[in-house]
Amino acid sequence: MNAQKQAHAWLLLLPALTLLVAFTHYPAIATLIDSFMSTPKPNRASVFVGFDNYAAMVDDPIFWQALRNNLWFALATIPLSVGLALAMALWVNGKLAGRGFLRMAYFTPTVLPMIAVANIWLFFYTPSYGLLEQIGNLFGLPSQNWLGDKATALGAITAVAIWKEAGFFMIFYLAALQGINPSLREAAAIEGASRWFFFRRVLWPLLMPTTIFVLVNAVINAFRMVDHVVVMTRGGPDNATTLLLYHLYEVGFKFWDQGYAAAVTVVLLAALATVALVQFFVLDRKAHY
Amino acid sequence: MKHSFATCAAAVALALGASAVQAQSTEVPFYFPVAVGGPITKIIDQFATDFNKENPSIKVSPIYAGSYQDTIVKALTANKAGTPPVASVLLSTDTFTLIDEDAIVPIDNFVKTPEDKAWLGGFYKAFLLNGQIGGKTWGVPFQRSTVVLYWNKELFKEAGLDPNKAPQTWAEMTSMAQKLTRKDASGKVTQYGVQIPSSGFPYWLFQGLTTQNDVILANEAGTQTKFDDPKVIEALQYWVDLSKKHGVHPSGIVEWGTTPKDFMEKKVAMIWTTTGNLTNIRTNAKFDFGVAMLPAGKKRGSPTGGGNFFIFKKATPAQQEAAFKFAKWLTQPARAAQWGIDTGYVAVSPAAWDTPALKKYAAEFAPAAVARDQLQYAVAELSTHDNQRVTKAFNDGLQAALTGSKTAEAAMKDAQKEAERLLRTYK
């Protein structure tokens, strides 16, 4: 009976397991192995090269720049998009006219495909007649080539990412807020707690599980979003907007350097896994479920 | 990863094999990219249908594969898995990469009869250059373009310039651009004189300037670059000075994609861009415009661009022969002429320009012939071994100089150093 139950359980797990192994675990392990091998060429088969690919990576200034850019990108997008999401959720959770419309408006960026969005933003940022330029003209601001200047390009693509993400995270916060018992608010009101106090001591702790979930997603997205880079800057000017994944794409599919690309992938995977583990095991303890 | 590819590939091969047996014909899967506006997919599908009708023993199936970059990614990945397409249109500059990956066969393998030889000799020399390596021809010119100057005749008139005369030299372009640059009361530029796009692939447009300054960027073997040649630095300085010193060109990086729009919005009076934009600008510009050859520095010059037709090595000999037949069919004068009219690409052979259809078109719309007339000054597009990496080093250097983070000289020296490091294994 017990054995039959066991078999039953494994059978139920099998479809998902097959997919995960075939498309997640096996490629990850194959990539790890490939990262220790040289890139196969028609006249030179792939051979074991140890840490050569990693050494090449350490020597590559563009890798370091991509990493640096990506850290700035993450440092800006994660807190800003999560903070904005929370603020928007708190606002549209209240009773106000046109609430449904507002919610939809906030969520719209999430629904739009990133490629389309990036093309629209391209024209926002266009010098001379772009939207930002026209607004700037009203206030007599000087002309600015947002995407064509090394100083502003990374900031410009970061803004697009925040705009795109915030609405998505808002939905999770909104759902969590709807699930909070209204009697808590009433009790707090009777006790004479200020709104800020109520948020800090009641809402925020209750939203913690959502915050962790959102944070994990925000971190992953910060290393995963490159569609708009491809459309808007292709990593330029002079690598100012090259993010890690874009660099990886270039190495793998433009330079055809499989071994090096595998090494960058392993670094990216390791970094993401570490962050996710820290979040789950450290932050999780602080959450009340 | 490799195994799953192999399995997929086997399945595809099985499917293809099965249908081949049914139809009793030679299957020719053919990848093509779409890089300009217009109904390219429809035209190519029609070509295939017509060809298949004329050649019942062959079945060409065109497969739209995305941009040039997507197409080479798909073709090379399929090649590594063992089942590449039989033929594909890919960037002519990727020839070295395709040879290094041992993916393609020379076209000469199929050129046997005098008629074939005449056909291969019939193309414009400038278009064959990128495909000729090590004494062999690897690619058939198909969708080819070049860089030209577009100018707004209305704005020329307003600035007191002859609206029918484009700049002939660098000095003239600078002085005309100065007259064409307008500022508002606060000193902000509302209309620039000239712009040369520098996002994505600045090297291609810059190659116009270097060719005009009488310097070739790489040797024919693709193993040596000359990025730090004083003439290259001088050409880059001219480009940088247009904005830094003269203020007649937008500063920073100029986006390739919005350049035609900038021109149509009258934010700039002269632009450098591909002949492939001709149909787009002709349809959308609300003013009279002209198209001219790029101005001359020490001489005239422009790079060629666009895609060649390649035949893959792993296909069967029968498939390769069928693909060759298709390539010849595609580039027949009448067809090449129609393709040029429909897309804005430059028809690839003098014979095509002699057809009544194209003669009539060129007579009605003079700008169409400018690209052809410029071909005598055209050079091969920059291409080396490890092409995309070397080109990236060069692009990074150009963008660094244009954004002012490096001097022209330092930027080109750095690019050259990186190119030499990348190319050392190919010497």
- Predicted pLDDT at B352: 93
Residue extents of the structural domains in chain B = 2-145+305-372, 146-304+381-426
Which residues on B lie below 8 Å from A26 (Cβ)?
Answer: 1, 4
For residue A271, being part of any structural domain is answered with yes
Q: What is the pLDDT of residues A70-88, one digit of tens each?
A: 999 999 999 999 999 999 9
Least confident of A96-100, A208-212, B240-244, B284-288: A96-100
Q: In this predicted structure, which of A190-204, B202-216, B304-318 has the lowest mean pLDDT?
A: A190-204
Q: What is the rounded CA–CA span in Å between residue B194 and residue B400?
A: 20
As given in the structure block, the two tokens for residue B15 are: 């499917």
- For an interface test with A, give the residue of B99, B196, B392, B402 to mutate (most A CBs within 10 A): B392
Q: How many domains does chain A have?
A: 1
Calculate mean pLDDT across residues A165-182. 90
**Predicted local distance difference test score (pLDDT) of residue A227:** 87
Q: Residue B298's pLDDT band (boundaries 50, 70, 90)?
A: very high
Q: What is the C-alpha to C-alpha distance for residues B62 and B29, in angstroms, rounded to an integer?
A: 6
Q: Residue B9 — very low, low, confident or very high, per pLDDT cuts 50/70/90?
A: very low
Query: How high is the pLDDT of residue B21?
Result: 44
Burial of B114 (0-12, 13-18, 19+ CB in 10 A): exposed
Query: Confidence band (pLDDT; 50, 70, 90) for B67?
Result: confident
Give me the percent of chain A exceeding a pLDDT of 90: 33
Position B235 pLDDT exceeds 90: yes
Higher per-residue pLDDT: A236 or B267: B267
Q: Given this model, what pLDDT does residue B133 score?
A: 87
Best of A144, A146, A239, A254 to disrupt the B interface by mutation (most B CBs within 10 Å)?
A: A254
Lowest mean pLDDT among B203-212, B226-235, B353-362, B365-374: B365-374
Average pLDDT, chain A: 88
DSSP run (H or E) holding A242: none
The domain spanning residue A185 has which CATH number? Answer: 1.10.3720.10
Within 17-46 of B, beta carbons closer than 8 Å to A belong to: none
Domain range for A179: 61-115+147-286
Confidence of residue B25 (pLDDT cuts 50, 70, 90): confident
Confidence of residue B161 (pLDDT cuts 50, 70, 90): very high
The mean pLDDT of B376-404, rounded to a whole number, is 92
Q: Which CATH code is given to the segment(s) B2-145+305-372?
A: 3.40.190.10
Summarize pLDDT for B77-126 with one digit per residue, the tens: 999 888 899 999 999 999 999 998 899 999 999 999 999 999 999 999 88
**Nearest beta carbon to residue B388 from set A27, A122, A255:** A255
How far is residue B170's CA from residue B298's CA, in Å, rounded to a whole number? 9
Does A268 map to a domain? yes
pLDDT band per the 50, 70, 90 thresholds, residue B174: very high
Q: Could A237 and B257 be called an inter-chain contact, meaning their C-beta atoms sit closer than 8 Å?
A: no
Cβ–Cβ contact A61 with B under 8 A? no
Mean pLDDT to the nearest integer, B159-186: 92
Q: Which of B4, B186, B405 sits opposite A140 (nearest CB)?
A: B186
Better-predicted residue by pLDDT, A42 or B285: B285
- Facing residue for B253 by CB, picked from A128, A147, A250: A147
| Inter-chain touch B2–A30, beta carbons under 8 Å | yes
- Cα–Cα distance measured from residue B346 to residue A285, given in angstroms and rounded to the nearest whole number: 67
pLDDT at A1: 58
Does any domain span residue A211? yes
Alpha carbon distances (Å) from A261 to A224, B1, B396, B422: 15, 14, 20, 16
Q: Which two tokens mark A262? A: 């595998």
Mean of pLDDT values over B238-261: 91
Instruction: Tell me the chain A residues in contact with residue B206 when contact means C-beta distances shorter than 8 Å.
Output: none
**pLDDT, position B131:** 87
Write the residue in A126, A143, A149 that is nearest to B189 by C-beta.
A143
Judge whether A32 lies within some domain: no
For tokens 């002269």, what's the residue?
B270
Residue A132 domain flag: no
Q: Which of A238, A255, A257, A260 to mutate: most B Cβ within 10 Å?
A: A238
pLDDT at B212 over 70: yes
Q: Report the run of H or E that residue B169 belongs to, with start and end.
A: none
> Which residues does chain B have within 8 Å of residue A44's beta carbon, measured at their own beta carbons?
none
Integer Cα distance of A162 and A164 in angstroms: 5
Min Cα separation A180/chain B (Å): 46
Interface of A with B in 65-124 (CB under 8 A): 122-123
On the question of pLDDT at B1 being above 70, the answer is no
**Sign, CA torsion B344/B348/B353/B357:** negative
Q: What is the DSSP letter of A143?
A: P
Q: What is the pLDDT of residue A87?
A: 92
User: Is A266 part of a structural domain of the chain?
Assistant: yes
CA distances from residue A128 to A46, A124, A157, B258, B262 in whole angstroms, order as listed:
51, 10, 19, 11, 8
Lowest-confidence region among A140-144, B159-163, B371-375 = A140-144
**Minimal CA separation from A256 to chain B, in Å:** 9
Class in CATH terms, B146-304+381-426 = alpha beta
- What is the model's pLDDT at position B130? 87
SS3 content of chain A, % helix, strand, coil (to 5): 75, 0, 25
User: pLDDT value at position B330?
Assistant: 92
Q: What is the band of B289 on the pLDDT scale with cuts at 50, 70, 90?
A: very high
ipTM of the predicted assembly exceeds 0.85 = no
Residues of B in contact with A236 (CB under 8 A): 199-200, 253, 395-396, 399
Mean pLDDT, to the nearest integer, of B8-22?
Answer: 46
Query: Which pLDDT score is estimated for B37?
Result: 62
